[in-house]
Structure 1
Amino acid sequence: MNLLLHICCACCLCAPLGELRREGFKVTGLFYNPNIHPFLEFRKRLKALRVFQETDPIPVIYCEDYGIKEYLKNVNYEGNDRCADCYAMRLRFVAAFSKKNGFDAFTSTMLFSVYQNHEQLKTLSENLAREHNSKFIYRDYRYLSECSHDLAKKKMIYRQGYCGCIFSEYERYKDTTRELYKGNLSYSKEEKNTVEVFNTEDDISQKCNCFGG
């Protein structure tokens, strides 16, 4: 069976790819992730997947355009369903691409991550498969998550610290940034009179629950 595998990142691909192959699937990867920001992070993840291909060849279709405009157009980043919108944006493209290009079925490495909303991804993929008259392959490989990260480490593949969007980056690093600057700055008396520190905390921390890879 020709399987189109949406790849969210190289790290999440390591262990599940082997399992899918052992089941007899002929796997082709699809890198489509307009959610990944900022631009340098997007380039790092593209490069990481190509590094993976050097040690474990797999055909991959790359969507290399930086997708900030597409992300902002399709995702209600001020609402509570931002992650659901992001899942839908990517998986809708995958399901349509699978059908249009003659693949027997599709799935996504997002299902193999312990950091994502597994049931939401499963339900959404099943609905999109029906909508596009395609087939969705469901596997729960979350138990391979640690193994996949270990393999990525051994292969010296870049392992990101947050899901992908700029909001998850903020949620992941906001406390470390605060600690980085806390107590580490010193000013002269004159400088203290001209330096202002702004705290722009808002409700963004309440809106993001997407960590990791």
Structure 2
Amino acid sequence: MNLLLHICCACCLCAPLQELRKEGFAVTGLFYNPNIHPLLEFRRRLKALRVFQESDPLSVIYYEEYGLREYLKHVDHEGNDRCADCYTMRLRFTTVYAQENGFDAFTSTMLFSVYQNHEQLKIFSENLAREHGIDFIYRDYRALSECSHDIAKKKMIYRQGYCGCIFSEYERYKDTTRELYKGSSLNKKDEEGVQNVFNIKNTLHRCDCL
């Protein structure tokens, strides 16, 4: 069975790819992630997947255009369903690509991550599979998460510290500003100014290029 595997990152690919191959799937990868920001992070993850290919040949379809505008267009970053919108955007693209290009089925490495909403991803994928008349391969490989990270470490593949979008990056690192300026000569007003730099909503609204 020809399987299109949406790849969110090289780190999440390592162990699941081995298991899918053991089951007899002919796997082709798809890198489509307009959610990954900022630009340098996007490039790091692209490079990480290419590094993976050097040690484990895998055919991968790459969408290398930086997707900031596409992400902001499709994701309600002011609401509570940001992650659901992001899942749907990437899974819908994967489903349509698989259906239009002769694949028998599709799945995603997002399902294999312990940091994602597994049940939501499963439901969205099943709905999209029915809508487009193609099979969805469901596997719960979350138990392989640590193994996948170990393989990535041995292969010296970049392992990211946050999900991908600029909001998850902000939420992951926002408290580090307190440590960064702890014990410095900044007064309270200066500290508030530093925090404002990291206020992502204000930053997006001020950006005239979006």
What TM-score, normalized by structure 1, do the two folds share?
0.89
Runs of 4+ deviating beyond 6 Å: 201-204
2:20 matched residue in structure 1: 20
**Residue-by-residue CA offset, 1:83-113 (whole Å, 9 max, x unaligned):** 0000000000000000000000000000000
Q: Is structure 2 residue 183 aligned with structure 1 residue 196?
A: no
Q: Is structure 2 residue 98 aligned with structure 1 residue 104?
A: no
2:95 matched residue in structure 1: 95
Is the deviation greater in 15-24 or in 169-178? Answer: 169-178
Deviation at 1:176, TM superposition (A): 1.9
2:148 matched residue in structure 1: 148
Deviation at 1:179, TM superposition (A): 1.0
**Residue-by-residue CA offset, 1:99-143 (whole Å, 9 max, x unaligned):** 000000000000000000000000000000011111100000000
What TM-score, normalized by structure 2, do the two folds share?
0.90
Letter of the 2:150 partner, please give it.
Answer: D
Unmatched tracts of structure 1, length 5 or more? 205-213
- The count of corresponding residues between Structure 1 and Structure 2 is 198
CA distance in 2, matches of 1:98, 1:168: 28
- SS of equivalent residue, structure 2 residue 135: coil
Q: Is structure 2 residue 57 aligned with structure 1 residue 57?
A: yes
Contact 2:170–2:200, Cα closer than 8 Å, also in 1: no
Percent of aligned pairs sharing the same letter: 78
1:38 matched residue in structure 2: 38
Unmatched tracts of structure 2, length 5 or more? 202-210
2:207 matched residue in structure 1: none
**Residue-by-residue CA offset, 1:3-45 (whole Å, 9 max, x unaligned):** 0000000000000000000000000000000000000000000
Cα root mean square deviation, aligned: 1.8
CA distance in 2, matches of 1:165, 1:74: 13
CA distance in 2, matches of 1:146, 1:180: 30
Q: Is structure 2 residue 129 aligned with structure 1 residue 121?
A: no
CA distance in 2, matches of 1:84, 1:173: 22
Deviation at 1:177, TM superposition (A): 2.6
**Residue-by-residue CA offset, 1:42-79 (whole Å, 9 max, x unaligned):** 00000000000000000000000000000000000010
Q: Is structure 2 residue 81 aligned with structure 1 residue 81?
A: yes
Query: Higher helix proportion, which one?
Result: 2
Letter of the 1:182 partner, please give it.
Answer: K
Deviation at 1:196, TM superposition (A): 2.7
